[in-house]
Structure 1
């Protein structure tokens, strides 16, 4: 039996979590793969804790190194709504993206009685048969009330915000990048305990602004301001070729190495309309991790530069009038 089948069977009797509950499990998986991480906030949720703890190392160890990144030269960058892009400067890419977004019309804010529909996918490599880019899904179709106030007040991940909260916060963000980043850090605060330690400002900014970019819906002009501010965060880079998201689509990767770790966070953008499409964590250098049962070393897991630890893709997002409705 392969690891993916074991993982599915392990959580077969676990209640299906919503997107807010899945986020802690995905972060926990990466925590297990990177034990020396500093500044990454640990989350807990009883609906995924059992599955996450047992499966984290297994999944992280088999995640792919070859999910099909398109290694095209930077000089022949993707064609987009902003023209052909050179993927050699995060400032150039993000400001061009912002220029294009500012030309898009803004629709009305969703009503409180409407729902946010999303479809998501994760990707891994099957270590048993060696095939790369094996894709699997957790509760891929998801509906959350736009005004999900009850859930927000009832034990959610501390990074959880309702779609309405995120929309209105994004719409109020100032033009000045420094002020914008300060407001985003306040909206998605850093930790203040030994289990969830505080992040350095740049890492906090990149994590928080990634959460804001991921929110749906966000007015185009607000997303433009978010991208302009993202470009000013110290340590931000852009991968000089298109990468593949968990759904196999080409994407622009805006990256920043996680402080004190062997990996980088990658915010993935559609190369044509610059919408948010996903998130990856990728190993930046070869390293080894000793897996123990608390006292005795049971196994040494080797990680290679370029290995994808986690990869999430949002393949659809829409505002709908009722739960169960699809666009």
Structure 2
């Protein structure tokens, strides 16, 4: 029985949730199982970032992708000093360094008619933060200027071209930049705090490729101005088993902490994680122990991306 069937049967008598919570749960499930159509894959960025914590946690534990850190926490700093690490005690300076590195990269210079190729790994199958990838590498192709996502009928699901153009036109002023982000990616609901909305919109664009270097650097510099900008004080482990810097924004009252992961050598974004920070509102998993603080429910890593001439072509 597949995960969606199991989920429908277990929650058959539950009233339908609102659109924002339902979309978030569906996209968490889509990311973990990696059985997505091209259309649903395009929606992953914003829907994943628009996480309704409780709904996403239900899906995560139901399909058994919970990962418990040793002792309910992260690996010790001593185990994470295999590379030279930037100063993790100054997250503002760290994010500015990430912005400078992003701005120095070449422009992908995408063209209509091209396809966006992405190779990624999602999830774990282990109970250790030092663990192995949970699924083999997955390859995806997206039409860069896909008319289906440019005709205004898909809401906040945009083609890669529209996202590229949007990032290119972002202003330098952080307040004006976040105002544009909130318009481009509407709030998940009327009670969503401004800080959470700003961070999640920035996370979407941080996970978008291709993007113009100067534009995405502005996003990172604006991110550095948010209250609660933080970094995990040691390297964490991404979905490939490699060490990574984890940056996040502290948003009060959340159940899951959504982290952006960066290569400690190049400062390039390499993936993301969702880590339990409050397990009180999480349901028990029918497939194992209940989630605890420090568990990594979702872990994803990008292995490669490129512009190619046609679908199914590899760089």
TM range (shorter): 0.7 to 0.9
Q: 1:21 to 1:236 in 2, by over 3 A?
A: same
How far apart in 2 are the matches of 1:281 and 1:240?
16
Please say which of residues 144-153 and 85-94 is displaced more in the overlay: 144-153
CA distance in 2, matches of 1:119, 1:68: 29
Q: Which runs of 5+ in 1 are unaligned?
A: 36-54, 293-297
Q: Residues of 2 paired with 1:138 and 1:198: CA distance?
A: 38
SS state of the match for residue 298, structure 2?
strand
Using the TM superposition, give the Cα deviation of residue 177 of structure 1 relative to its aligned residue in structure 2, in angstroms: 1.4
Provide TM-score, normalisation by structure 1.
Answer: 0.73
**RMSD, aligned CA:** 3.8
For 1:61 and 1:74, how far apart are their aligned partners in 2?
Answer: 24
Alignment of 1:62 with 2:66, yes or no, is: yes
Unaligned ranges ≥5, structure 2: 7-28
Are the structure 2 counterparts of residues 75 and 326 from structure 1 closer, same or farther at C-alpha, using a change threshold of 3 Å?
closer
The alpha-carbon distance between structure 1 residues 153 and 57, as it changes in their structure 2 partners (threshold 3 A), is farther
Q: Against the structure 1 CA distance between its residues 269 and 140, is the aligned structure 2 distance closer, same or farther, given a 3 Å change threshold?
A: same
Paired residues of 1:190 and 1:204 also in contact (CA < 8 A): yes
Following superposition, the deviation at residue 139 of structure 1 comes to: 8.2
Deviations, residues 286-309 of structure 1 (Å, cap 9, x unaligned): 5364459xxxxx999632221101
Supply the distance in 1 between the matched residues of 2:80 and 2:51 (Cα, whole angstroms): 37
Pairs within 5 Å for 1:207-226: 207-226=200-219
1:1-327 aligned at under 5 Å gives the runs 7=3, 16-18=36-38, 19-21=41-43, 24=47, 31-32=54-55, 34=57, 56-59=60-63, 62-66=66-70, 71-72=76-77, 79=84, 85-107=86-108, 109-126=109-126, 133-137=131-135, 140-153=138-151, 156=154, 158-191=155-188, 196-287=189-280, 289-290=282-283, 302-327=290-315
More strand by share: 1
TM superposition score normalised by structure 2: 0.75
Between Structure 1 and Structure 2, how many residues are aligned?
285
Is the alpha carbon distance of 1:321 and 1:168 closer, same or farther for their aligned partners in structure 2, counting shifts above 3 Å?
same
Provide the secondary structure at the position in 1 that maps to 2:197. Answer: helix
Q: CA contact under 8 A between 1:125 and 1:132: conserved in structure 2?
A: no
